[in-house]
Amino acid sequence: MKLRLLSIAVVAACLVACGPKDYTVHVKTPARPAGQQDVVSLSADPIETVRIGFIGLGMRGGSAVKRYTHMPGVEIKAICDMEEKQVSRSQKTLAKAGLPEAAEYCGEGAWKQLCEREDIDLVYVCTDWASHAEIGVYAMEHGKHVAIEVPAATSLEEIWALINTSEHTRRHCMQLENCCYDFFEMSALAAAQAGAFGEIIHAEGAYCHNLDPYWSRYWHSWRLDFNQQHKGDVYPTHGLGPVCQVLGIHRGDRMTTLVAMDTDPFNGPRHCKARGGQGEGFANGDETSTLIRTEKGKTILIEHDVMTPRPYSRMYQLVGTDGYAAKYPLHQVCLREDALGNLEYDKLGGEKVYSKEEADSVLAQYPIPILTPELEATAKEVGGHGGMDFIMDYRLIYCLRNGLPLDMDVYDLAEWCCLGELGAISIANGNAPVEVPDFTRGAWDKLDGFSYAFAK
């Protein structure tokens, strides 16, 4: 007993003398190239009719072209894919909508010619993950704004290349994070910003989606291959994007540290073998969890699971000092004044939870600022994940046409994509805390919370 007390005293004395040990893995933040400034609130000259070139016309790109046939104020000038059949499929979409044929680009490297055209304002990228950043950088270097599917970057090197190029060229670089435009997320954001849940102190997001039916449908099996080769949360943006908007990340707060932990890959290798691959050395755990802490003392939990039959979930849970909102697995709202509806001593879960209908009527008190009845009706009719894809596209084009800052900038892209490589670093270091760089390089508290820009 004496010995035990003595050793506790020695450890305590050491802590006082040396301070707690810092286990954080630090990553390098490259200096901002001389003469460049940040692009927080970047605006560019208004573009009356936005001329677009699409690169990547597979499952996602093909449906994007279709959505844009319903978009006012745009011209689809050029389309590009590795495969001839995808190009002709999109030409048929245009013809069916009564629109002129677009210029066609097909095959390896053809995307560069599309980016080099003089008559394009926006390059819209829906290729697989490996080519996103290279295309984004090249498009901006050729004077184009660029919108890139998720995740727009897969490494810190790619992230910094996109940031540096956007800052240098003053071109917009937006990640196409459609989940920020789903109706529940937009309503809960409006309610949270109005203080309905008190101060939001913790949030959860996820991408749980059993991809069994899809693995074989991706071009050259790119998605399973990526999971085979990479650890960390390789698809974090659907979970992280909407909650970062609520927390005002790089708009008054910032992510400072993360820790990641994953399971072994149990199902991943089986999927590989089932498709003729080796399955050996499969990197990505079936389940990856990343816990993030912010400068203002908030936390975020993000999960990734594309390998098990766990039901589809993006989680989207907001925990506030005075309330709670959740989209998955149950659509719920709790507010403090009637939080404890059932005070029976031994009954757990006695909190008053609003039913889906009640939750919707609570949220309906906080109108979504960007949603007009006409936009909602068109979005639901055109479709795309229930309408959110169209709203995202609509906002992108509206802001470009009016010369406004976009809803999502290159720093959002960076923050939402960095979980891949930073999580892999954490896992490789025994789940150590890893520093999250300030991708704005000093501009993270210039703004006070997330807001949408509107034309005057």
Q: Is 412 in the site for ligand NAD (CB under 6 A)?
A: no
Q: Is 156 in the site for ligand NAD (CB under 6 A)?
A: no
Closest CB to ligand NAD among 169 and 227?
A: 227
| DSSP H/E element including 79 | strand 74-81
Residues within window 23-52 making contact with ligand NAD, judged by CB under 6 A: none
The radius of gyration computed from the CA coordinates of the chain, to the nearest angstrom, equals: 23
Say if residues 271 and 215 touch (Cβ distance below 8 Å): yes
Cα separation of 399 and 455, whole Å?
8
Q: Is 155 in the site for ligand NAD (CB under 6 A)?
A: no
Q: Is 131 in the site for ligand NAD (CB under 6 A)?
A: yes
Q: Shortest Cβ distance from residue 231 to ligand NAD (Å)?
A: 18
| DSSP assignments along 81-142, one per residue | ESSHHHHHHHHHHHHHTTPPPPEEEESTTHHHHHHH-TT-SEEEE-S-GGGHHHHHHHHHHT
Cis upstream peptide for 329 (omega within 30°):
yes
For 409, the token pair is 């900038």
Which of 50, 65, 74, 82 is in the footprint of ligand NAD by CB under 6 A?
82
- Candidate ranges 81-89, 191-199, 277-285, 308-316; the one touching ligand NAD (CB under 6 A): 81-89
Say if residues 211 and 268 touch (Cβ distance below 8 Å): no
Classify residue 276 by burial, with Cβ atoms within 10 Å: 0-12, 13-18, 19+: exposed
C-alpha 321: how far from its chain's center? 25
* Short-list 121, 62, 108, 50, CA closest to 87: 62
20-to-258, 266, 430 alpha-carbon distances in Å: 18, 37, 18
Which of 93, 165, 175, 178 is in the footprint of ligand NAD by CB under 6 A?
178
For 421, the token pair is 């490589």
CA angle 410, 413, 414 (to 5 degrees): 90
Which of 25, 40, 59, 301 is in the footprint of ligand NAD by CB under 6 A?
59
Closest CB to ligand NAD among 138 and 366?
A: 138
Q: Is 215 in the site for ligand NAD (CB under 6 A)?
A: no
Shortest Cβ contact with ligand NAD: which residue? 58
Q: Is 81 in the site for ligand NAD (CB under 6 A)?
A: yes
Q: Is 61 in the site for ligand NAD (CB under 6 A)?
A: yes
Q: Is 420 in the site for ligand NAD (CB under 6 A)?
A: no
Taking each helix axis from N to C end, the angle separating 356-363 and 183-193, rounded to the nearest 10 degrees, works out to 50
- Candidate ranges 9-17, 23-31, 123-131, 372-380; the one touching ligand NAD (CB under 6 A): 123-131
Which of 38, 149, 185, 393 is in the footprint of ligand NAD by CB under 6 A?
149
**DSSP 8-state symbol, 329:** S
Q: Is 407 in the site for ligand NAD (CB under 6 A)?
A: no
- Candidate ranges 82-90, 255-263, 265-273, 372-380; the one touching ligand NAD (CB under 6 A): 82-90
Sketch the per residue contact string, 366 through 405, with ligand NAD: x for CB under 6 A, - otherwise: -------------------x--------------------
Q: Is 56 in the site for ligand NAD (CB under 6 A)?
A: yes
Q: Is 284 in the site for ligand NAD (CB under 6 A)?
A: no
- Binding residues (CB under 6 A) for ligand NAD: these are 55-61, 80-83, 86, 111, 126-129, 131, 149-150, 176, 178, 218-219, 385
